Chains A and B, each alone.
Chain A
Amino acid sequence: MQQKSHEICCGQGFRMSESVGAWQLIASGDATLFAIVRLSLAVSLSAVAIAVIVGLPLGALLALTRFPGRSAVVVVLNGFMGLPPVVVGLTVYLLLSRSGPLGEFGLLFTPAAMVVAQALLVLPIIAALARQTIEDLWSEYRDELTAMGVGPAGRVATLLWDSRFSLITALLAGFGRAAAEVGTVMIVGGNIEGFTRTMTTAIALETSKGNLPLAMGLGIVLIGIIIAINAAAWGLRLWSEQRAG
């Protein structure tokens, strides 16, 4: 039934009044719209922060160590950059559901569950890109740092610091992935109004309900945020390259 109404409204094509409505919602600072935006940002940024804390050292470790089966780990990690969000969502759902191993914490259908799921989704992206970046820099620095007598911890710190501006790109890729995906947050968050409804799940719902101004308004904000963050990173990179070389 819902599927049918969706087809009807979209079948009539692009309507001017709805795009005007979308901009009006944004301009008027619509409370519903901005509550959704706030929650989305909070969830995705938290997920990226966790993925960075775990993923950067993991990537560095993988870049600097040699062990049997390392190539397999690298291949799997690279492959996990393309993990299907719904599968990650399903896995976290099973872990967090009442009868799951982590069910006692009652996290399912909360923002915390969405953070966990998105962090898992973003972690391979950040770890894999960090590994590549750090490994490249290490092949350049290896002789000098060894000759300077820099120990393992110092190496990791130096490589992370000196590749920080390249790593920002990895971070952005992770944030873009988290902010734009709908599969995991839909499954583990449940799209509960005012509690776990994010930009992407709201767009999916409002579109199927036919509330196109809100859906389009959220879409515009989402794209705007992603472009703004990328522009800021681009500027930061230009500025830093001039300073640090």
Chain B
Amino acid sequence: MMRATPSDLPLVLDGVSLHIGSTVVLDRLDLTIAPGAPTLVVGPNGSGKTTLLRLCMQLVRPSQGRVSWGGRTDAGQGRRAILFQKPVMLRRSAAANVAYVLAQVGHPRHLRAAQALELLDRVGLADLAARPARRLSGGEQQRVALARALARQPEILLLDEPTASLDPAATLHVEEIIRMAAQSGTKIVMASHDLGQVRRLAGEVVFMIRGRVCEQASAEKFFDRPSTTEAAAFIRGDLVL
């Protein structure tokens, strides 16, 4: 049903600026996200990674420039899903949170409960399905949110530092789920702080500083032969402002 709609790829940002008050969050940014291996968005705090993802999700509109999804400038949210850094749980059980999204995308009513449980099982939370989602730990809520995002069967999955609050075991689990989603054809666009994680997951790296794309390259090239001094410094672990 969702597949009947045209593709959202390539996702193109063309000269996009975003001002909030007098602050320039994004500054004439150009970026094309094409189908393929995961795109990891890296850069220091405040470089505009979160805002970039929100623009890609059509949650904010650019002050200047334009965003297009598969050539369309108003694509709705139908084929994309986002995992926020601090996801908000609906005041329902974990399973009901997932079932809510399934209902939203038109999943048949009698199959929802089973499908919700299956999705929770994929993120390792099947035994917490009946618990109130807001009572779960931060890491568990993150995974419920991931199950909710997967429930939309997105063509593009946007993730904003999804493992920032997780322990290594949970991080490994989430990365595995992301890798599986990527293998099954979902385009992953993920902001991350963790260069180890970027090396593990990235097919392509978008390096941002001060609201602009400083460098966009394959992961291999980015780590081996960065073309900007800022990227080289960032990879070395120097402080980049």
Contact = CB atoms under 8 A, between A and B. Distances in A.
Interface of A: 140-141, 143-144, 146-150, 154, 158, 162-163, 242-245
A158 B87 CA distance: 17
A143 B77 contact: no
B99 to A, nearest CB: 12
A217 to B, nearest CB: 42
A158 B89 CA distance: 13
A191 to B, nearest CB: 45
Contacts, number: 53
Interface in B87-101: 87-93, 100-101
Contacts of B91: 162-163, 244-245
B227 to A, nearest CB: 34
B104 A140 contact: no
B97 to A, nearest CB: 10
Interface of B: 54, 57, 59, 76-78, 80-82, 84, 87-93, 100-101, 104-105, 132-135, 148, 152
A245 B91 CA distance: 6
B20 to A, nearest CB: 15
B89 A245 contact: yes
B132 A154 contact: no
A130 to B, nearest CB: 16
A143 B90 contact: no
A147 B77 contact: yes
- Between A146, A149, A162, the greatest number of chain B beta carbons within 10 A of the residue's beta carbon is seen for A149
B37 to A, nearest CB: 24
A146 B59 contact: yes
B104 A244 contact: no
B17 to A, nearest CB: 21
A243 B76 contact: no
